Structure 1
Amino acid sequence: MILDRRRFLAGAGLAALAAGLGLPLSFEPARAQSADQVKLMAPAASPLPERAIGSPTAPVTVVEYASMTCSHCAHFHTTTFPELKKKYIDTGKVRFIFREFPFDEVATAAFMLARCMPDDKYYPMVSVLFERQMSFLKTSASDPADKPYQGLLAIARQAGMSQADFEKCLTDKDLAKKVQESALYGNAQLGVNSTPTFFINGKKESGAFPIDWWDKQLEPLLAGK
């Protein structure tokens, strides 16, 4: 099993996960500042079904690469994203695509949990995971060894998932592999090496930007400039 409870509690980390899947252990430094739209939207860019919200015909497409254990990603999703969604996504101006870019085993497990939810519960689960990020992150040596496991399990149970289904989800080797492949493609083909990284109609930007920054990026595109 790729994420059995014993290894999860032992904190085996990305190295063990990658070794089990035959994947690289690190990402190459980013080079490109913009992305080929063909590469950005290619099927290989998203080994799992694409998770998109907003109108498919929106004039602007934003693709985000994030890690569930990234504090900057959590800050963006708990502060800026709700306003961005209300102002641009819900109004049909922006199509938003969220892609997995886990830096460690805990992030991979959190993404797997979100992917095991029904389609209409995916984004709500992503929001909850970012809101409660500190409940499953080990931030000091005094934290219990099983904090990641117990934290994610508590979130899963609140979403209506049994412990058996939770552990079945986290031991799905194919799902773990595809979550990792999303990150590998983003790094190798699109130059992603930090999170959050956004592609705004193909233009690459990295950082947890506030809403006024987004206004300055999006309004000219929406005006056709």
Structure 2
Amino acid sequence: MPSSKKKSSAKKSATKPLLISAGAVLAAITLGIVSWQATAPAGTGSSGAPAVAGPRTDPAAELKALARRESGDKLAVGRADAPVVLIEYSDFKCGYCGKFARDTEPELVKKYVADGTLRIEWRNFPIFGTESEAAARAAWAAGQQDRFDAFHAAAYAAGSKEKGFAEHRLVELAREAGVPDLERFTADMAGGPAAAALKKDQEEGYRIGVTSTPSFLLNGRPIAGAQPLDTFTAAIARAKAEAAQR
């Protein structure tokens, strides 16, 4: 058994696999939300509202409740009342996030967002330094002019992250995404509301134990990494069926 474990570990280190353990992510997220519950100030809930008396012992319900379902959310696509919500924690400098954005996400939008089954809510979760954070603020700023999804596609296009996300490059991406008012975009990108929105997304992710990108919650169930399309379609089908039974 020890030799088998060493061999497996060496293989993982050598190949640098795309996917991380879904079980590990589930454990991390569950422990994160339980820890948050244990240390949250008395009398407050996940949204700052008064907490129900007595201990909360349902992390899955807490994770599901993270879906904001705000009709005016600029960083979301799909109906606010869709039966299935996919929350994505991602970084524009993350290669695997880009792979998901190019290979899988468009299919999910075409198949499930279009028919009202799925809503996708993005959370900016930069973990690769200052350029990651700048790109996150820029994406938020593009969203204020209803061009988040177009900016998202441009920033995740093949070869885009290799060009970096300095300010002049972010303006180029905004122009490519069709942001109409670039002066407003630049001001929004540097403003306090963008920083506050980014902080909100980051705090949510860290609170529940997200440590890598991309990470997902689908109706409260964690999905780890840029999984194949079939993984998401199966999870969506299950979540939709469960929602129909309620």
TM-score (norm. length: structure 2): 0.64
**1:134-213 to 2 correspondence within 5 Å?**
134-137=161-164, 148-158=166-176, 159-160=178-179, 164-188=183-207, 190-213=208-231
- The structure with more radius of gyration: 2
Alignment of 1:1-225 (within 5 A): 30-32=28-30, 35-38=59-62, 41=65, 49=73, 51-103=75-127, 104-117=129-142, 118-131=144-157, 133-137=160-164, 148-158=166-176, 159-160=178-179, 164-188=183-207, 190-224=208-242
Aligned mates of 1:211, 1:61 — CA distance in 2: 16
Task: For residue 129 of structure 1, report the CA deviation from its aligned partner.
Answer: 1.1
The residue matched to 1:208 in structure 2 has which SS?
coil
Q: Is the 8 A contact 1:55 1:94 kept in 2?
A: yes
| Identity of matched residues, % | 25
Structure 1: which 4+ aligned runs deviate by more than 2 Å? 33-44, 48-52, 117-120, 132-137, 147-151, 156-171, 220-225
Q: 2:225, 2:148 → 1: CA distance?
A: 23
- 1:151-194 alpha-carbon deviations (Å, 9 max, x no partner): 22321233356775454334324422430331122111x21111
Q: Check conservation: 1:73, 1:208, Cα contact below 8 A.
A: yes
Q: Say which SS state the counterpart of residue 68 (structure 1) adopts.
A: coil
**2 CA distance for matches of 1:202 and 1:181?**
18
Aligned to 2:28, the other structure's residue is in SS state coil
Q: 1:74–1:133: 8 Å Cα contact kept in structure 2?
A: no
Once superposed, what is the RMSD of the aligned Cα atoms?
A: 3.0
Helix, strand or coil: the match of 2:217? Answer: strand
How far residue 90 of structure 1 moved from its aligned partner, in angstroms, is 1.0
Against the structure 1 CA distance between its residues 217 and 160, is the aligned structure 2 distance closer, same or farther, given a 3 Å change threshold? closer
What amino acid maps onto 1:84 in structure 2? L
Structure 1 unaligned runs (5+)?
A: 1-28, 138-146
Mapped partners of 1:162, 1:217: distance in 2:
39
**Larger RCO: Structure 1 or Structure 2 (Cα < 8 Å, ≥ 6 residues apart)?**
1
Residue correspondences, number:
185
Secondary structure (helix, strand or coil) at the match of 1:30 reads helix
